């Protein structure tokens, strides 16, 4: 298996075809890269980071003002948690689970500082957290993102994981350690509150109607937007 290559000196198993280190890393799956990174292969870590940076950056984008430290913490925690990843689920789901724990720990610090309630009742706005940047090409998108930050954190989480990251109900239940029925309830309640907050923030009934009607379009636009091309754009 080419994953056994010693990348430092590019030595190969006897009889194996030679491939440049970058080609070898690109041919490895996420689980192999994670094992190699844990064993000290920095290149494997960089490859894993490149593959999944956009997912983690998008997760933190609308929830914290300075996401870079939390992104780095998520990937480092991923290495520490590597023995728990057995490939039963997608690595991306495993990584998002770690990102959730990192975010909750960050929010618990903010809770103490501001003396606010639990994440089931407090929103990002209540915690005093501002987004790192609002990347929106349309007023409807800005309305959507602003309304999301008014939701209780746990409802914002489940909505964004469902629609931004495309996780299925079963994956959400496993990731959030909740019964499927609770996930369904939170999704329904989150959607209701989201539309209520959009109604409070919308500049006109027409704007509200346009946003709700094309809600899936705005979500897809945010999902596809490259974090690298988004740098420096403010809504």
SS (H, E, C) 67-99: HHHHHHHHHHHHHHCHHHCCCCCCHHHHHHHHH
Residue 174 has pLDDT above 50, yes or no: yes
CA dihedral (52, 55, 58, 60) positive or negative: negative
Question: What is the rounded CA–CA span in Å between residue 63 and residue 132?
Answer: 8
Question: What is the rounded CA–CA span in Å between residue 121 and residue 119?
Answer: 5
Q: Looking at residue 135, what is its pLDDT?
A: 53
The residue ranking higher by pLDDT, 228 or 65, is 65
CB within 8 A of 74, min separation 6: which ones? 56, 95, 98, 99, 102
Tokens 């194996």 found at: 16
Question: What is the rounded CA–CA span in Å between residue 145 and residue 142?
Answer: 5
Question: What is the rounded CA–CA span in Å between residue 234 and residue 133?
Answer: 6
Say what the pTM is: 0.76
- Which of 21-25, 126-130, 159-163, 201-205 tops mean pLDDT? 159-163
% of the chain with per-residue pLDDT over 70: 77
CA dihedral (170, 172, 177, 180) positive or negative: negative
Q: Give, as one character, the DSSP assignment of residue 11.
A: B
Residue 164 has pLDDT above 80, yes or no: yes
**Domains delineated in the chain:** 29-121 (1.10.1740.10), 134-225 (1.10.10.10)
Residue 230 has pLDDT above 60, yes or no: no
Question: What is the rounded CA–CA span in Å between residue 89 and residue 107?
Answer: 27
pLDDT level of residue 222 (50, 70, 90 thresholds):
low
Residue 11 has pLDDT above 70, yes or no: no
Distances (CA, A) of 147 to 141, 159, 190, 205, 211: 10, 12, 11, 15, 11
């Amino acid at each position: 298996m080419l994953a056994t290559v010693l990348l430092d000196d590019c030595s190969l198993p006897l009889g194996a075809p030679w491939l440049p280190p970058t080609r070898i890393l690109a041919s490895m799956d996420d689980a192999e890269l994670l094992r190699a990174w844990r064993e000290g292969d920095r290149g494997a870590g960089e490859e894993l980071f490149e593959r999944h940076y956009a997912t983690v950056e998008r997760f933190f984008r609308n929830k914290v003002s300075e996401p870079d430290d939390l992104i780095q913490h998520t990937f480092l925690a991923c290495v520490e948690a590597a023995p728990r990843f057995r490939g039963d689920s997608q690595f991306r789901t495993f990584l998002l689970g770690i990102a959730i724990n990192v975010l909750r720990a960050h929010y618990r610090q903010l809770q103490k500082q501001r003396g606010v309630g639990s994440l089931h009742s407090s929103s990002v706005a209540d915690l005093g957290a501002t987004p790192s940047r609002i990347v929106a090409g349309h007023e409807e998108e800005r309305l959507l993102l602003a309304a999301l930050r008014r939701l209780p954190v746990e409802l914002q989480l489940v909505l964004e994981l469902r629609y931004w990251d495309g996780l299925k109900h079963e994956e959400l239940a496993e990731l959030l350690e909740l019964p499927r029925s609770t996930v369904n309830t939170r999704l329904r309640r989150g959607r209701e509150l989201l539309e209520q907050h959009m109604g409070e923030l919308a500049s006109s009934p027409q704007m509200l109607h346009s946003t709700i009607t094309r809600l899936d379009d705005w979500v897809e636009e945010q999902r596809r937007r490259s974090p690298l091309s988004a740098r420096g754009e403010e809504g």
